[in-house]
Chain A
Amino acid sequence: MPIILWTDALVFLLVVCAAAAGRYVSRREYLLSSWRRVGESRAGMSALTVLAVFVLIGLFDSLHYRPRLEAVAGEQANGYSTEVRSVLDTLLLPLKTKTEKTYSAPLATHLYARETVEMPDGGQARVFPRLKHGGIHLPDPAADWAGDVAARILHGVALAVLAWLTFTAAAVQATALHWGMRWRTAWRRIWRGETHFAWNAVLVTLALLLFLAGPLVTLAGGYHVFGTDKVGQDVLYLTLKSIRTGLVIGTITTLAMLPFAVALGIVAGYLGGWVDDVIQYLYTTLNSIPGVLLIAAAVLMMQVVIDTHPDWFATAAQRADARLLALCLILGVTSWTGLCRLLRAETLKLREFEYIQAAQAFGASSLRIMGRHILPNVMHIVLIAVVMDFSGLVLAEAVLSYIGIGVDPSTISFGSMINTARLELAREPVVWWSLVAAFAFMFVLVLAANLFSDAVRDAFDPRLAGRQIAPATQGQAA
């Protein structure tokens, strides 16, 4: 039985909006030219490749359903489990279900802690017991482990090469068809970076990703590649699940913030007068409360509401999802002020332009002027703000979850992973893999988002477009 959680609905709404916007832009040459500049940026396109992989994982994790309960002997199967699963869960079912007893190191075959085990001869011994799932296919781990891991890595690399060649061939074919050139020429152009779209950056990034992902997949079939955490959950599974939470927070928050910021900013700037005063008062007041404290206050209150109304939610997943959505809304409400102020200032400037005055002289209504004439001309500011905010929000989620005002404890996120693992470095011997995995994935996601947003900003910000920075030595010479 499919289930659409609130955040799923919004995520897919966002996908539809993005597709519609893409269609709109692709038919208008003047809008397309800025996007072409984004496409020329090597750093931007390589970041986009990484982001695309993350988004794909996030989308798979946003298709939820409740599995049908298996028929008990003699009875007809009816009803659905209360457990809500996503398509990603189903793909990763082996990882999700194969839990160990407690910590085990990456690729380990034995537990990380000694346990007292009854020996066959009646005595007791302190040994590292074998894992229940990790490396269980090896008859003699000490002898076979290295060979098996090497074979799996080779297998994975082979798969990666195959996948990369397929994709590259498709890309080269597409370029060759598009420009009407021969296959070899197309390949040479791509390789030397002579195409408009930075295909070479995409292909190199993809190669890197595949060479990491291929062995990961083959190894994950027999081992816990990133080890297991305190309760024996596979860390790879946890990190993959965290991706959706990060993406949802980064995107839905912006979605919640945009209507406020855009409408109020333009209205304040265009109408002026008491409307402007009221809106300015509103955002100065909200702005004057330190962000974390306002979020803390709002989240604490939301927790009370959710905790005192347990009957609102059918499943635990729905409750966790409501908390996630509420967190996004709260973050959105507390963060719209910056964009609102920017838009107000820009509208104040645009209002004096001749084309606006012409529209006024023709008798166009204020609503029409704001919607048709001002909004399209401030969209670049909105777009830049949206992409710039994303990375900050992903980072903020981790901090908020640590403070205790983030996502529901049952929601897997980078923040909750770090929060549960923060004392593991103080253990003896050190348990490092949960923290390292969470931080590494978060770093890659945020870095890609930062690089992509830089590319978008460079292409869309009229102050930066076409600006060349002269090196100091030239200045001296002149």
Chain B
Amino acid sequence: MIAYIVRRLLYAIPILIGVNLLTFTLFFVVNTPDDMARMQLGIKRVTPEAVQKWKAERGYDKPLVYNEAADGAGKVTRTIFFEKSVKLFALDFGRADDGRDIGHEIKTRMGPSLAIALPVFLLGLFVTVTFALLLAFFRATYLDFWGVVACVALMSISSLFYIIGGQYLVSKVWHLVPISGYAGGLDATRFLILPVVISVAAGIGSSTRWYRTIFLEEIGKDYVRTARAKGLSELTVLFRHVLKNAMIPILTGVVVVIPLLFMGSLLVESFFGIPGLGSYTIDAINAQDFAVVRSMVFIGSVLYIVGLLLTDLSYTLVDPRVRLQ
């Protein structure tokens, strides 16, 4: 087991290097730092001195991958590639355009992101699996039919509509909760209830349908017929047999997103003014702060790889036949 985990972690290294090279190419080769400086300072009326100053302030005034001027190891380390890309592996993210330390920002913003993403994840999973079991129990009846129709309709609605409509109705018309904002501690619930409910509602359609398909696929199998032949009630069959056996496909889709919960949600956080990583990313995109975007890409892929590993480990928990070697 330990050996398996270690080997999987070693596999992750080439992937992270690939991600790193890709972001490096995107951010520094497709557009040179000079292009970006001109872009940030305005295309017209930009002096070479201003470009130089902009690059020096951000440490972009070095060669891309090989520094002729430096000596010794400096030939490799005093380059943009080493200072901006390789250092990401040490979780050294550098500074954002406004001079703040990105690593520190990420640490403080993870909390609010998690405070909203975790309840959404748990509540959403509970609600959708319950609905899906309900539809599977009443399969091939009118309830099932209209349930699926409702799911298709719900998943055809833009997530923006859920947010804008929910905010308008609950906060503006009914005055139940504040429209947006955030506070620390228990006070946060007041601000979190609406975004959590809206996010869960927005996900119901597609997830319920997806789980329903999984359950129906299981229900068609032979062991279910055996269970019924034994005289078990339909409810027992559904909860004791079908749900357990459906865990593998469910876990495949679910566990991988758990680490990504730290990243928060771009849309919800920006609409509700929650100071998490999602709104941090959106602000960086709008301000064209490439250092932040680059860091988020890197963290995102690290978390994704952790998620894949967790998925494999979770299989051993639900299915004793799976052995990791």
Interface residues of chain A, those whose CB is within 8 Å of chain B, are 281, 284-290, 292-294, 296-298, 300-301, 303-305, 307-308, 310, 391, 395, 398-399, 402-405, 414, 418, 422, 425-426, 430, 435, 439, 442-443, 446-447, 450-451, 454, 467, 469-472, 475-476, 478
B325 CB within 8 Å of chain A: no
A446 neighbours in B (Cβ, 8 Å) = 156-158
Q: Does chain A have a CB within 8 A of B4? A: no
A304 to B22, CA, bound (A): 17
Residue of B nearest to A394 (CB): B158
> Does B234 interact with chain A (Cβ within 8 Å)?
yes
Q: Cα distance A200–B288 when bound, in Å?
A: 53
Cα–Cα, bound, A285→B25 (Å)? 14
A293: B residues at CB distance < 8 A: 281, 293, 296-297, 300
30 pairs from A and B in contact (CB 8 Å cutoff): A288-B19, A288-B304, A288-B305, A290-B263, A290-B297, A290-B300, A290-B304, A293-B293, A294-B297, A296-B281, A298-B26, A300-B285, A303-B288, A305-B35, A308-B35, A391-B156, A399-B267, A403-B266, A403-B267, A403-B285, A404-B282, A418-B160, A425-B164, A425-B167, A442-B158, A446-B156, A447-B152, A447-B156, A469-B216, A470-B140
Listed residue (A292, A398, A418, A430) with the most chain B CB atoms within 10 angstroms of its CB = A292
Q: Are A451 and B152 in contact (CB under 8 A)?
A: yes
Additional pairs, 18, CB under 8 Å, beyond known A308-B43, A472-B137, A476-B233: A281-B15, A288-B301, A289-B297, A290-B300, A296-B285, A301-B31, A308-B31, A398-B160, A399-B158, A399-B159, A404-B282, A418-B158, A446-B158, A447-B156, A450-B156, A451-B152, A472-B141, A476-B234
CB of A305 within 8 A of CB of B293, answer no
Interface centre among A288, A308, A395 (most CB of B within 10 A): A288
Q: Report B235 CB to chain A, min CB distance, Å.
A: 10
A442 to B141, CA, bound (A): 30
* A433, chain B: closest CB distance, angstroms: 14
Chain B residues within 8 Å of A443, by CB: 156-158, 161
Q: Which of A285, A300, A414 contacts B15 (CB 8 A)?
A: A285
A359 CB to nearest chain B CB (Å): 33
A426/B293 in contact, CB under 8 A:
no
**Closest CB-CB distance, A278 to chain B, in whole Å?**
11
Nearest residue (CB) in A for B169 is: A425
**Do A289 and B19 form a contact, CB below 8 Å, given A391-B156, A443-B156, A450-B155?**
yes
Q: With A443-B156, A443-B157 given, is the CB distance from A285 to B18 under 8 Å?
A: yes
Chain B residues with CB under 8 Å of A451's CB are: 152
CA distance A399 to B23 in the complex (A): 23
Q: Are A300 and B288 in contact (CB under 8 A)?
A: yes
B36 to chain A, nearest CB (A): 6
- A284-B15 contact in complex given A404-B285, A439-B161, C-beta closer than 8 Å: yes
Interface contact B266-A292, CB-CB below 8 Å? yes
Q: How far apart sit A446 and B139, CA to CA, in the bound complex (Å)?
A: 26
Do A439 and B152 have beta carbons less than 8 Å apart? Answer: no
Q: Which residues B263-292 have CB closer than 8 A to chain A?
A: 263, 266-267, 270, 281-282, 285-286, 288, 290
B160 and A297 form a contact (CB under 8 A) = no
Closest Cβ–Cβ distance, residue B188 to chain A (whole Å): 23
CB neighbours of B27 from chain A (8 A) = 297, 301
A407 CB, min distance to chain B CBs, angstroms: 15
B139 to A, closest residue via Cβ: A469
The residue that B26 contacts in the complex, of A301, A391, A454, with Cβ under 8 A, is A301
Q: Which residues of B contact A391 (CB under 8 A)?
A: 156
Chain A residues near B156 (CB-CB < 8 A): 391, 443, 446-447, 450
A469:B158 contact, CB within 8 angstroms: no
Say how far B147's CB is from chain A's closest CB, in angstroms. Answer: 13
Smallest CB-CB A-B distances: 3 pairs: A285-B18, A471-B140, A447-B156
Q: Are A308 and B38 in contact (CB under 8 A)?
A: yes
**Distance in Å from the Cβ of A298 to the closest Cβ of chain B?**
6
A454 to chain B, nearest CB (A): 7
Complex contacts, B168 vs chain A, CB 8 Å: 425, 430
Q: What is the CA–CA distance of A260 and B103 in the complex, to the nearest angstrom? A: 36
Contacts of A439 in B (CB 8 A): 157-158, 160-161
Nearest B residue to A471 via CB reads: B140
Residues in A with CB closer than 8 Å to B22 are 285-286, 289
> B138 near A: Cβ within 8 Å?
yes
- Report the minimal beta-carbon distance from B284 to chain A, rounded to whole angstroms: 9
Complex CA gap A289/B304 in Å reads: 7
Q: Is B190 an interface residue (CB 8 A)?
A: no
Chain A residue numbers with a CB within 8 Å of B140 are: 469-472
- Which chain A positions have C-beta within 8 A of B39? 304, 307-308
Q: Which of B139, B164, B293, B294 contacts A422 (CB 8 A)?
A: B164
Q: Say yes or no: is B244 at the interface (Cβ < 8 Å to chain A).
A: no
Min CB distance, B135 to chain A, in Å? 11
Does B117 belong to the interface (CB within 8 Å)?
Answer: no
Query: Mask for B12-56, Cβ within 8 A of A = 1, else 0?
Result: 001100110011001100110001101100010000000000000
The answer, yes or no, to whether B153 is at the interface (CB within 8 Å) is yes
Write out the residue numbers on chain A whose beta carbons fall within 8 Å of the beta carbon of B14. 281
> Are B297 and A478 in contact, with the CB atoms below 8 A?
no
User: How far is B37's CA from A304's CA once the two chains are assembled, in angstroms?
Assistant: 10
Tell me whether A402 and B155 are in contact (CB under 8 A): no
B75 beta carbon closer than 8 Å to chain A: no
Cβ–Cβ contact A425 & B138, under 8 A: no
Chain A residue with Cβ nearest B38: A308
Q: B175 contacts the other chain (Cβ, under 8 Å)?
A: no
Chain A residue nearest in CB terms to B137:
A472
Contacts of A430 in B (CB 8 A): 168
Whether A304 pairs with B139 at a CB distance below 8 angstroms is no
In the complex, B132 has a CB within 8 A of chain A: no
Q: In the assembled complex, how far is the CB of residue B294 from the closest CB belonging to chain A, in whole angstroms?
A: 7
- Does B200 have its Cβ within 8 Å of any Cβ on chain A? no
Closest to A405 in B: B285
Give complex CA distance A425, B172 in Å: 9
Query: Which A residues are in CB contact (< 8 Å) with B35?
Result: 304-305, 308
Contact A290 B260 (CB under 8 A): yes
B157 proximity list for chain A (CB < 8 A): 439, 443, 446
| A36 nearest CB across to chain B (Å) | 23
Q: Are the C-beta atoms of A297 and B293 separated by less than 8 Å?
A: yes
Asked if A288 and B15 make an inter-chain contact with CB atoms under 8 angstroms apart, the answer reads: yes
Min CB–CB distance A408 → chain B (angstroms): 16
Given A293-B281, A426-B172: A395 and B159 within 8 A (CB)? Answer: yes
In the complex, how many angstroms separate the beta carbon of B304 from the nearest chain A beta carbon? Answer: 5
CA distance A298 to B27 in the complex (A): 9
Q: Is there a chain A Cβ closer than 8 Å to B104's Cβ? A: no
In the assembled complex, the CB of B308 is this many whole angstroms from the nearest CB of chain A, namely 8
Decide yes or no whether B240 CB sits under 8 A from chain A: no
Cβ of B228 within 8 Å of any chain A Cβ, yes or no, is yes
